[in-house]
Structure 1
Amino acid sequence: MTLSPSTADTISYLRSLPAIRERAELVYSKAQDNQLKYFDVDLSKLNDVAKFVVSLIKRDYDAQEIAKIPPHTRLRHFEVGGKDRVGQLVESWKGRADNMETVRRLVDLIVVSVLLDAGAGDRWTFEVKPDNTQKVARSYSRSEGLALASLAMFKEGRFSSDINRPHQVDANGLCNLTLESLKEGFQVDDQKNPLLGLEGRWELLRRLGNSIKVHPEYFSNTEIASVRPGNMVDFLFKEGSDRPRRNDKYVVRTESLFKVVIDGFAEIWPPSRTAIEGVSLGDVWPCDAIHDPNAAPDSTDHYVVFHKLSQWMTYSIMEPLETMLNVEWEHSSLLTGLPEYRNGGLLVDLGFMTLKPKEDERGLANYKHNALKPGQPAVEVVPTFEPSDPVIIEWRAMTVATLDRVAVEVRKQLNLPNLTLAQVLQGGTWNAGREIASVSRPNTKGPPIAILSDGTLF
């Protein structure tokens, strides 16, 4: 299929990093003029949000440690309970894998783990059995539980087609993955331990297998037979090798990694996602707040861009290349805050954003309808919407733009102008959103607005 130059340019823009922040800013400007469709916004409470975030950072980190807060990446979730599980895994590879292969394996793990990180629901947990360092079994839920489940499956070789190389993720291993294997790996019991969107996650991983097969420019390696997500390391490292070094570091554009993630995994998205002339845009949605009723029918000017999964993956892949392969990331500030329910929930729970009465009523009706389905616990009633609902789209766009402003205020209050957005997310907003949710809704610890997860929206 041949696209016209203008269509190709539009698609390229909507799949770019700058588009995320630029389109979110259009929505925020509507909020400043009190013109949002589904939310009322109290801009005066922005400082309250920042103060709450700062209070948690100061509580959880010593003053001299705040500037060293690690970035918000998937690797943090493997550390739950204070255990360096990834470090132990890397140690077990010593003598059998050089630095490059070690990072390839970590990228393999990160890619599948991020893809499995959709909302798990309020009932699912993953039990870690006792071992030499943990004397009793412990159960983990939500993102940490999903992280440990994916780590266990990776170590068991469930994503590899090569019995001699279990600690890898390859195309054939993903394409041949069975739903039963994934269900077993997640310890799912439909009655006692249900996981939202199990089949959606399974289909996503199988589509990942097909996607990396059709992008050999990123995922094939002449020296390694397997087609793997981790082979992108060689592609990226070549860019750093071909450019002038800076302070003895390999300089790689953040946009280059993001392009690999966006283009190389383009085929993972379900057919229901927004597309232009058959080309899927991924996490891109029409937003009523910025829609011009006089615009041409095929206009994309009202599309808001999130690429939350792709950014989460980009943040996470950056870390091992930086720490183990001496890579310095150029233009990393293009990455935005992540529009997910903890960050967005923080803004709602602290009164910065409030659903308009009509939408609140509609969301509660959705909740009641969903609560009648088998296995749905009728506790802690919250407005509930499908991922594609315009309420969710407006909420997510406001989350992206507001996180930038929260970060500015947090830096001012801490007097740390160089604190990165990834550090603010990790030390502050993500934690704060989770903590206030656990206080406000102690039974479920869920968000103030629920999204009906299908395993593909993150």
Structure 2
Amino acid sequence: MPPASSTTETIAYLKSLPAVRDRAERVYAAATAQKLKHFDVDVSRLHDVAKFVVALIKRDYDPKDIPNIPPHTRLRHFDVGQVDRIKLLVDSWKGRVDTLETVRRLVDLIVVSVLLDAGAGDRWTFEVKPDNVQKVSRSYARSEGLALASLAMFKEGRFSSDIHRSHQVDADGLCKLTLESLKEGFQVDDQKNPLLGLEGRWELLRRLGQALKAHPEYFGGSDNAPLRPGNMVDVLFKEGSDRPRRNDKYVVRTESLFKIVIDGFAEIWPSSRTGLNGVSLGDVWPCDTIKDPAAPPDSTDHYVVFHKLSQWMTYSIMEPLETLLNVEWEHANLLTGLPEYRNGGLLIDLEFMTLKPKEEERGLVNYKHNALKPGQPAVEVVPTFEPSDPVIIEWRAMTVATLDRIAVEVRKLLNLPNLTLAQVLQGGTWNAGREIASVSRPNTKGPPIAILSDGTLF
């Protein structure tokens, strides 16, 4: 067994942002050497993928607007139907709370909404009733539907323990949340409107409540104040206030926010996730592609690191602090592309990556077995795998590394060297992945490889 100090350093590394790129690059190197175990890769198609992404960016944005594409955060999903629901929410608080509390509330909402943003399945939708903003009833699916459901539940106070402060998320409110309340909030009907992983999401929110209680250093407020995700705003804003300003902005390290997310929410991960010496590593998985047969049994050199949910949450929390509290984020370039099925699906649909025949066959067998379960629609057959399957791990690692390369090509094609990765994700790859999926699989609009969701993998 390695010494304790060595183990501590290994855990710290595997829970860091640099580890995400480091390990993904090792998998990409195996791809360029044609040594992937589960996919064939045609690197020559990278430029074609970038051109496809750029074509969609140019279609969807005026040339003058492209440099100002908003970042890829959870807040974008609330705007579906061309309604700026976050602005309407913030406007409703004006005159009643100060700016710090406004941002705390937005962070409360973002945290639960991100946690609820696992795959919803092909049959679930969320209906928004007519109101002063939206005159007719409309139904939304997938990420946008989940976002609007989480917003409705937030406004209804389902995550708050204080009936006088409904627009907050607190530890007691989450721990007391019932499965029935969440089911009602999501408008779930087991027969007509089933939602994948409902119980997994419920358990995730309850574990979030426990995490808030376990980390008062991040989530505790003033005396007797409830423990809330939004209280991290005070910790971050203090860092910016204690450091010299830059161009009249408060400078906060991106690593500081990521540490709160990765450590403060560590308790939310199910016990089945990879751990080391009793410490949960979260979204970290062993990858057989880079495993050295001669390595000692306790080696972690073949672990690949994603922290997709934690990065998605970090990207999303950064936005309101930047826009409302005048915060500038230092080292934001440490964040990576997100290894999820839209970005990853784009690579497969455009034939940059292709499943090896034996894996294709195995995935189709998995699909057939899953299709026999009650409530599973037998349409648009795609290879299907568990989240822990080596196929999914290799796919996700390749997605992280390839997104960096796509971003470089996109910047060249647009002649915009300062376009951020978050902008490329929002304006380009995520949207492109969704669009090509809707053409390739019009019935479900799902990805080319299905992941059996338990409500905790995003």
In the TM superposition, residue 305 of structure 1 has moved relative to its aligned partner by 0.1
How many residue pairs get aligned? The number is 457
How many angstroms apart in 1 are the aligned matches of 2:125 and 2:316?
23
Counterpart for residue 14 of structure 1: 14
Q: What's the Cα RMSD here?
A: 0.9
How many angstroms apart in 2 are the aligned matches of 1:356 and 1:224?
58
Instruction: Look up the SS of the partner of 2:80 in the other structure.
Output: helix
In the TM superposition, residue 277 of structure 1 has moved relative to its aligned partner by 1.0
Instruction: Look up the SS of the partner of 2:246 in the other structure.
Output: coil
TM-score (norm 2): 0.99
Matching of residues 302-313 of structure 1 within 5 Å: 302-313=302-313
Pair 1:203 & 2:193 matched: no
How many angstroms apart in 2 are the aligned matches of 1:245 and 1:132?
42
In the TM superposition, residue 224 of structure 1 has moved relative to its aligned partner by 6.4
In the TM superposition, residue 409 of structure 1 has moved relative to its aligned partner by 0.2
Counterpart for residue 285 of structure 2: 285
In the TM superposition, residue 134 of structure 1 has moved relative to its aligned partner by 1.3
| Structure 1 residues 386-418: Cα deviation after superposition (integer angstroms, max 9, x where no partner) | 000000000000000000000000000000000
| Structure 1 residues 47-77: Cα deviation after superposition (integer angstroms, max 9, x where no partner) | 0100000000000000000000000000000
The letter for the 2-side match of 1:90 is V
How many angstroms apart in 2 are the aligned matches of 1:71 and 1:320?
11
| Structure 1 residues 102-123: Cα deviation after superposition (integer angstroms, max 9, x where no partner) | 0000000000000000000000
The letter for the 1-side match of 2:186 is F
How many angstroms apart in 1 are the aligned matches of 2:438 and 2:445?
4
Pair 1:297 & 2:302 matched: no
Counterpart for residue 429 of structure 1: 429
| Structure 1 residues 115-163: Cα deviation after superposition (integer angstroms, max 9, x where no partner) | 0000000000000000012111000000000000000000000000001
Counterpart for residue 110 of structure 1: 110
How many angstroms apart in 1 are the aligned matches of 2:136 and 2:28?
48
How many angstroms apart in 1 are the aligned matches of 2:269 and 2:136?
39
How many angstroms apart in 2 are the aligned matches of 1:340 and 1:21?
15
How many angstroms apart in 1 are the aligned matches of 2:223 and 2:71?
32
Counterpart for residue 154 of structure 1: 154
How many angstroms apart in 2 are the aligned matches of 1:111 and 1:223?
23
How many angstroms apart in 2 are the aligned matches of 1:134 and 1:403?
36
In the TM superposition, residue 199 of structure 1 has moved relative to its aligned partner by 0.0
The letter for the 1-side match of 2:70 is P
Counterpart for residue 225 of structure 1: 225
The letter for the 1-side match of 2:360 is D
| Structure 1 residues 3-54: Cα deviation after superposition (integer angstroms, max 9, x where no partner) | 8111000000000000000000000000000000000000000001000000
After TM superposition, the structure 1 stretch with the greater mean CA deviation from structure 2, 127-136 or 144-153, is: 127-136
The letter for the 1-side match of 2:336 is T
Instruction: Look up the SS of the partner of 1:18 in the other structure.
Output: helix
The letter for the 2-side match of 1:306 is F
The letter for the 2-side match of 1:435 is E
Aligned-pair identity (%) = 84
Counterpart for residue 420 of structure 1: 420
The letter for the 2-side match of 1:267 is E
How many angstroms apart in 1 are the aligned matches of 2:278 and 2:442?
44
The letter for the 1-side match of 2:379 is V
In the TM superposition, residue 420 of structure 1 has moved relative to its aligned partner by 0.1
How many angstroms apart in 2 are the aligned matches of 1:233 and 1:133?
30
Counterpart for residue 245 of structure 2: 245
Matching of residues 397-412 of structure 1 within 5 Å: 397-412=397-412
The letter for the 1-side match of 2:232 is M
Counterpart for residue 73 of structure 1: 73
Counterpart for residue 346 of structure 1: 346
How many angstroms apart in 2 are the aligned matches of 1:135 and 1:323?
30
Instruction: Look up the SS of the partner of 2:36 in the other structure.
Output: coil
The letter for the 1-side match of 2:406 is V
| Structure 1 residues 404-444: Cα deviation after superposition (integer angstroms, max 9, x where no partner) | 00000000000000000000000000000000000000000
Unmatched segments (≥5 aa) in structure 1: none
How many angstroms apart in 2 are the aligned matches of 1:222 and 1:126?
37
Instruction: Look up the SS of the partner of 1:40 in the other structure.
Output: strand
Runs of 4+ in 1 over 2 A off after TM superposition: none
Matching of residues 309-324 of structure 1 within 5 Å: 309-324=309-324
The letter for the 1-side match of 2:60 is D
Pair 1:49 & 2:49 matched: yes
Counterpart for residue 256 of structure 1: 256
How many angstroms apart in 1 are the aligned matches of 2:430 and 2:224?
38
Structure 1 residues 260 and 335, CA gap change in structure 2 (3 angstroms): same
Counterpart for residue 144 of structure 2: 144
How many angstroms apart in 1 are the aligned matches of 2:167 and 2:8?
38
In the TM superposition, residue 260 of structure 1 has moved relative to its aligned partner by 0.1
How many angstroms apart in 2 are the aligned matches of 1:28 and 1:115?
29
How many angstroms apart in 1 are the aligned matches of 2:373 and 2:422?
38
Counterpart for residue 87 of structure 2: 87
How many angstroms apart in 2 are the aligned matches of 1:300 and 1:228?
34
The letter for the 1-side match of 2:233 is V
In the TM superposition, residue 282 of structure 1 has moved relative to its aligned partner by 0.2
Instruction: Look up the SS of the partner of 2:46 in the other structure.
Output: helix
The letter for the 1-side match of 2:174 is L
Counterpart for residue 181 of structure 1: 181
The letter for the 1-side match of 2:83 is K
Counterpart for residue 127 of structure 2: 127
After TM superposition, the structure 1 stretch with the greater mean CA deviation from structure 2, 214-223 or 65-74, is: 214-223
Instruction: Look up the SS of the partner of 1:377 in the other structure.
Output: coil
Instruction: Look up the SS of the partner of 1:81 in the other structure.
Output: coil
Counterpart for residue 59 of structure 2: 59
How many angstroms apart in 2 are the aligned matches of 1:308 and 1:356?
25
In the TM superposition, residue 222 of structure 1 has moved relative to its aligned partner by 1.7
How many angstroms apart in 2 are the aligned matches of 1:17 and 1:224?
34
Counterpart for residue 28 of structure 1: 28
Instruction: Look up the SS of the partner of 1:313 in the other structure.
Output: helix
Instruction: Look up the SS of the partner of 1:241 in the other structure.
Output: helix
The letter for the 2-side match of 1:286 is P
The letter for the 1-side match of 2:12 is S
Counterpart for residue 376 of structure 1: 376
How many angstroms apart in 2 are the aligned matches of 1:63 and 1:86?
26
How many angstroms apart in 1 are the aligned matches of 2:135 and 2:315?
33
Counterpart for residue 171 of structure 2: 171
In the TM superposition, residue 86 of structure 1 has moved relative to its aligned partner by 0.6
How many angstroms apart in 2 are the aligned matches of 1:411 and 1:103?
32
How many angstroms apart in 2 are the aligned matches of 1:204 and 1:197?
10
How many angstroms apart in 2 are the aligned matches of 1:103 and 1:308?
23
How many angstroms apart in 1 are the aligned matches of 2:244 and 2:217?
23
